[in-house]
Amino acid sequence: MDLTPLLTTFGIIALAELGDKTQLAAITLSCRYRGPPVFIGAMLAVLIVDGLSILAGTALADLLPLQLLKITGAAIFILFGIRTLVLKDDEKVCFKEGQSALLTSFSMVALMELGDKTQFSIIALAVKYNSPLLVFAGMSVAFALLMGVGFSIGQKLMCLLPRRYLKIITGGVFLIFGMLFLI
């Protein structure tokens, strides 16, 4: 069995999401809410949104000429590479306040992933490899690792910082996310 789709997907997604707004949201939400619901909500969001992206990419691979799809996939990676290196990150982010940490985490991360560079990368990887299960597995492991790290950092911050400062910091981050959404 060729594990190239799994390893490539893992590497690309892990690098693309490291320090990205999705991971920062996991850190911030983990400071605000206790327990694993933040991790579960964030993981459910990326598994659903990006899992559907894999299905879309696989369907495209069956409908369109493979050469056209490979060129399009390459162009997407190049454009996002240039965008990452050259442009400021001014994407809009929505934070929906809710009673449940799981629901809040799910809704926030799902909205962040829609139209994100990783969503398009996953579509391109699904097209390139036409191996949806391995692409899904690579993506899942990468996100689990990054969300786990974000969750752990958020929980550690709760122990290290006085609650008052933590409240100010997390409130500020959420305000910034809200402002970005309005812009």
| Each residue's pLDDT tens digit, 46-70 | 999 889 888 887 777 677 676 675 6
Of the two residues 47 and 14, the one the predictor is more confident about is: 47
pLDDT of 150 reads 79
Q: Write b or e for each residue in 68-88: b if 16 or more Cβ atoms lie within 10 A of its Cβ, otherwise e.
A: ebeeebeebbeebeeeeeeee
| Threshold 0.85, pTM exceeds | no
Q: pLDDT at position 89, please? A: 41
Q: What pLDDT is stored for residue 81 in this prediction? A: 58
**Whole-Å CA distances, 139 to 31, 49, 92, 125, 161:** 25, 11, 23, 10, 33
- What's residue 90's pLDDT? 40
DSSP 72-110: HHHHHHHHHHHHHHHS-----------S-HHHHHHHHHH
